[in-house]
Amino acid sequence: MHKQKVLIADDHALVREGIVAFLKLCDDIEVVAEASDGIEAIEKAKKLRPDIVIMDINMPKLGGLEATVEIKKMYPDTKILVLTQYEDREYISRFLKAGVSGYLLKKAVGSDLITALKAIIRGELYLYSSIASEVVAGYIHGDTHAAMDDPYEKLTDREKQVLKLVAEGYRHKEVADMLNISTKTVIAHQTNIGEKLDVHTRAGLIKFAIQKGIIKID
Q: Note the residue count of the chain.
A: 218
CATH of the domain at 202: 1.10.10.10
Domain assignment present for residue 54? The answer is: yes
CA distance 54 to 103: 10
| Statement to judge: residues 94 and 172 lie in one domain | no
| Statement to judge: residues 18 and 121 lie in one domain | yes
Using an 8 Å Cβ cutoff, are 32 and 6 in contact? yes
What are the C-alpha distances in Å from 159 to residues 50, 152, 153, 213? 26, 10, 10, 16
Segment 90-112, tens digit of pLDDT: 888 889 999 999 999 999 888 89
Mean local confidence (pLDDT), 145-154: 72
CA distance 145 to 19: 37
Helical packing angle, 183-197 and 172-179, nearest 10°? 110
Residues of the chain with pLDDT > 70: what percent?
A: 93
Parent domain of 61: 4-140
Other C-beta atoms within 10 Å of 42: how many?
25
Segment 168-211, tens digit of pLDDT: 999 999 999 999 999 999 999 999 999 999 999 999 999 999 98
The whole-chain average pLDDT of the chain stands at: 90
- The pLDDT-based confidence of 136 (bands split at 50, 70, 90) is low
Domain assignment present for residue 145? The answer is: no
| Statement to judge: residues 121 and 41 lie in one domain | yes
Segment 43-80, tens digit of pLDDT: 999 999 999 999 999 999 999 999 999 999 999 999 99
| Statement to judge: residues 63 and 171 lie in one domain | no
**How many separate domains does the chain show?**
2
pLDDT of residue 190: 96
Report whether pLDDT(144) > 70: no
What are the C-alpha distances in Å from 149 to residues 36, 80, 152? 33, 26, 9
E strand map for the chain = 4-9, 29-35, 52-55, 79-84, 102-105, 126-127
